[in-house]
Structure 1
């Protein structure tokens, strides 16, 4: 598989592991149409802070649980004024800190900076994505080729599901050799074998026929791909028999798999272009179970006999070309203007595009993440879909810029409550969210535990680092002798007192009543003998230097 190299790559491959773990500090909740001082724990989150650090802070609760990710990172056009800010321990990269990334010819490391910025973020997004989850990434031709190789490396070439071409500006702009009218969205899964994608509902779908089960159209039973033919799929090449003397519903004909009297033999049609016989899409056992139910005989206008399937689908697979006006950036701009009354944000994505991505990449109970949230289109799309189908999707938005509250969160508030005037008024979707600020790091210099973050945040981190599962808060640690939980027959203890020194000794062990195969105990000191610890399967970890880093 082709790989991509650039300045600083060897230093950013594992940079996500060095990113400090910071806590999320709730600032307010928004529910019942009003802002409240306390969080409402709705599951919807808007986070203000650096998205690399914010993604790291989500791991304890959401690793492997996010069903659908959409991101719209900087396209690196040279006109976006984005700044490289990742504190990677490398002399060349440190020189980039705080520098605005320039244009080709002006900034010879423009692409290196972009790749160094994207790599650790994609690594953390991969960790957060569920096994069956998918990710969509908007991009244009400035970095499209680089991003494809980057995604192949991190997500795996086999997990590439497709590349959407999207209308960005239908009329284009008359400068340069080409009037650019499109951009792209790369579509990857985390695990192709586990991925489930959905079809887009066709609201205006028309059906020609109707039976006891409902409306339907006709679809040929033969396989249109000539790679599937009698030589390659002999089990799918067999005759049906059609009774020309027995018309059933809607002028269709009775069919069977055995020859009877003057019944007519029907094979799949031969490809006119290649002259190769086709095969059926169904094998004999399946066909036998649906004879004259979901498959029937049909006669074309030219008198040819066919075997057809009743298709009742009111949806279709999303097409790679998304070029209608509903998904253009102009539509996105108009939507933001309608919400705020003026142009608050440049080049926002349209809601319909995000609704389509979310619809094919998740179900009604999924978690949707956008770590380059911008104006908040992803949350808008989630709320619209929930209102439309009664779903319970949850959104997580991350935005590092100062407008995270005044534009991103404010847009979500207005979508929830309703917006617009006169005939253009849009009814609110309802819903709620909590707004967070990226807070203090869990560890200070020299890996000293930052006790100011509070015991619950410390326990959440320890539990995740040990078990890679979500922590369930403990009501009273001291009541259960500081046991924070049990996983796979191992008990975990955090013997911690804010203003005191804790020691694991024989008196402490005598108070442990819960039986387990192994005991992992965090404390300040340990006076137990090694033989005793080995015999009773006790592992001591000193607070705070032995807390596992991830």
Structure 2
């Protein structure tokens, strides 16, 4: 398989493993549907570096995200937008200096963009479910670089398609060479057997069906009775209602057997034209056809355009035109229809103005679904635009004839907290004991942390699959697995996993009671 090489690649190929694990700090919960806010809503908006945020999501969401949509910076060099579409952003520059080193000073714009994208794609791959898919918006400027990059991370066999989105409503006569009418949405799956949902039929797709003979089965479409290869035995000639004979043209064959054709004719499922003298057509009834197979050309009148998205954002923020480059919510809704079910988790780690959350809320309102969104935005407008848009969608926005009813819903707004491990690779006590316990549980079980059971052992985390987990940790003293500690263990299990600073029990005893000792901090898994 061809691979893409660039300056700095060897420094970022495994960088996702070195990204520090930070805890998520809830800042507030916004809620519209209940009187009392929950401790934390299922929907998340995270303000912070998306590389660190993706790492922070791994314990809870690794392999659980059904649909990922990202609209990364296209690296056009345009620095006039609020969404700085350029890897010369100071945050990216600092990161490149730290990770790539002095080589980073000589990188081209595209080298920098590839260095930025690679570790983020690696973490997105980890978060994606086995039956999930990722959709990536991109333009011609970066598509040639992105394709081999995603081939390398997701596997060339998991490329699904490249969707063309008609983004322009009218040509740009100021263009020096060509007026660009489209962008792309690149689609990759986690596994090669991924199949998108079909799209519901609409008026346009149904309008080609008619009922000229008032068939009681309803509207139908005439189907070709001939095929390019023989589906039935031999060739035959059949006589129509007016006595005219019909047989396939040279080189073609009947699609069905003569017996089958006559049975369909008796049942009124063959159309011989208005006068009964036309060649036979097999009726395909609207009531019997399935939903639509998605196509790769998405027209603006179906999913919106740049103008649609600007009108949408202006209606949401009439006080200021503060965001010039959102995607239309209809476009993201189309993606969600193809790639999610009613209980799916959707992730957008380049959240921008929050269009993905808008689309999730719209679709949930339409079909009663419980899809959940996770947005990550590193820029300063994460609260003032991203989160604010989600609030307005939930509550309703616009006035008069343009008023849009609220969808309801809730979300928790997070920032990135301290690292779980300090510079000496020890547990950072600033994160708090409860966060440590959650991390240990996730690292062992890949399941949600259970609420502590009243009256249970002090260091007991929980039990899963007949295994009991203990985290024997004290901030100000060394902890030991010894006979005194074992005397305090009351939970019965087939196996025990116990974290502590030291183990003073003989190996024979550990084997007898199926105890697995893990030393703090050496044996704590690093995501």
For normalisation by structure 2, the TM-score amounts to: 0.85
Match of 2:332 in 1: 354
Q: What is the CA–CA distance in structure 2 between the aligned matches of 1:276 and 1:243, rounded to whole Å? A: 15
Q: CA deviation at 1:292?
A: 9.0
1:394-432 alpha-carbon deviations (Å, 9 max, x no partner): 111110101000000111111111111222222212221
CA separation of 1:55 and 1:215: change in aligned 2, threshold 3 A: farther
**Aligned equivalents of 1:466 and 1:87: distance in 2?**
34
Residue aligned with 2:412, SS: strand
Structure 1 residue 453: Cα displacement: 1.5
Cα distance change of structure 1 residues 89 and 113 upon mapping to structure 2, 3 Å threshold: closer
Which residue in 2 is equivalent to 1:299? 272
Q: Deviations over 1:32-55 (max 9, x none)?
A: 27998x655331111111111111
**Counterparts of 1:332-481 in structure 2 under 5 Å?**
332-341=309-318, 342-476=320-454, 479-480=456-457
CA distance in 2, matches of 1:56, 1:506: 38
Shift of the alpha carbon at 1:241? 10
For the structure 1 residues 149 and 279, does the alpha-carbon distance in structure 2 shift closer, same or farther, using more than 3 Å as the test?
farther
Is the Cα–Cα contact under 8 Å of residues 201 and 315 in structure 1 kept in the other structure? yes
Q: 1:321 to 1:29 in 2, by over 3 A?
A: same
Matches within 5 A, 1:36-115: 40-79=39-78, 80-82=85-87, 83=89, 85=92, 93-95=100-102, 109-115=108-114
3-state SS of paired residue (2:525): coil
Question: What is the 5 A alignment of 1:282-293?
Answer: none
Task: Give the superposition deviation at 1:359.
Answer: 1.0
**RMSD after superposition:** 3.5
The number of equivalent residue pairs is 506
C-alpha spacing 1:427/1:88, structure 2 compared with 1 (3 Å): closer
Bigger shift: 400-409 or 424-433?
424-433
Instruction: Output aligned runs, 1:3-402, within 5 Å.
Output: 3-32=3-32, 40-79=39-78, 80-82=85-87, 83=89, 85=92, 93-95=100-102, 109-173=108-172, 174-203=174-203, 205-206=206-207, 207-209=209-211, 215-218=218-221, 220=223, 229-230=229-230, 236-238=231-233, 275-277=251-253, 296-300=269-273, 303-312=278-287, 313=289, 315-325=291-301, 326-341=303-318, 342-402=320-380
What is aligned with 2:81? none
Rounded Cα–Cα distance in structure 2 between residues aligned with 1:535 and 1:146: 57
Structure 2 vs 1, CA of residues 279 and 466 (structure 1 numbering), >3 Å: closer, same or farther?
Answer: farther
In the TM superposition, what is the alpha-carbon distance from 1:177 to its structure 2 partner? 1.8
Question: CA deviation digits over 1:145-191, x for unaligned, max 9?
Answer: 11111111111222222111112223233232212121111011111
- How far apart are 1:140 and its partner, in Å? 0.5
Comparing 313-322 and 107-116, the one that deviates more: 313-322
Gap runs ≥5 in structure 1: 100-106, 231-235, 247-261
Q: CA 1:497/1:324 → structure 2, altered by over 3 Å: closer, same or farther? A: same
Unpaired stretches in structure 2, ≥5 consecutive residues? 79-84
Q: Kindly indicate whether the alpha-carbon contact (under 8 Å) linking 1:164 and 1:321 is maintained by their aligned counterparts in 2.
A: yes
When residues 90 and 398 of structure 1 are mapped into structure 2, their CA distance, relative to the original with a 3 A threshold, is: closer
Q: Distance in 2 between matches of 1:295 and 1:356?
A: 38
SS of the residue 1:208 aligns to = coil
List per-residue Cα deviations over 1:257-305 (Å, max 9, x = no partner).
xxxxx9x9999x66x8xx454756x9x9xx99x9799994333455222
Aligned to 2:321, what secondary structure does the other structure show? coil
Preserved CA contact (<8 Å) 2:264 2:270 = no
Instruction: Give 1:539 shift.
Output: 2.1
TM-score, with normalisation over the residues of structure 1? 0.82
1: distance between equivalents of 2:120 and 2:279?
Answer: 58
Assess if the C-alpha contact under 8 Å between 1:40 and 1:433 holds in 2.
no
Question: Matched residues in 2 for 1:515 and 1:219: separation?
Answer: 70
Deviation at residue 222 of structure 1 after TM alignment: 6.6
Q: 1:529 aligns with which of 506, 524, 527?
A: 506
Shift of the 55–237 alpha-carbon distance from structure 1 to 2, 3 Å rule, reads: farther
Checking the alignment, whether the CA contact within 8 Å between 1:25 and 1:438 is kept in structure 2 is: yes
Note if contact 1:441-1:450 (Cα within 8 Å) is conserved in structure 2.
Answer: yes
The 1:222–1:481 alpha-carbon spacing in structure 2 relative to 1, beyond 3 Å, is: farther
**TM-aligned CA deviation for residue 482 of structure 1:** 2.5
- Paired with 2:267 and 2:520, the residues of 1 have a C-alpha distance of 67
Higher mean Cα deviation, 430-439 or 318-327? 318-327
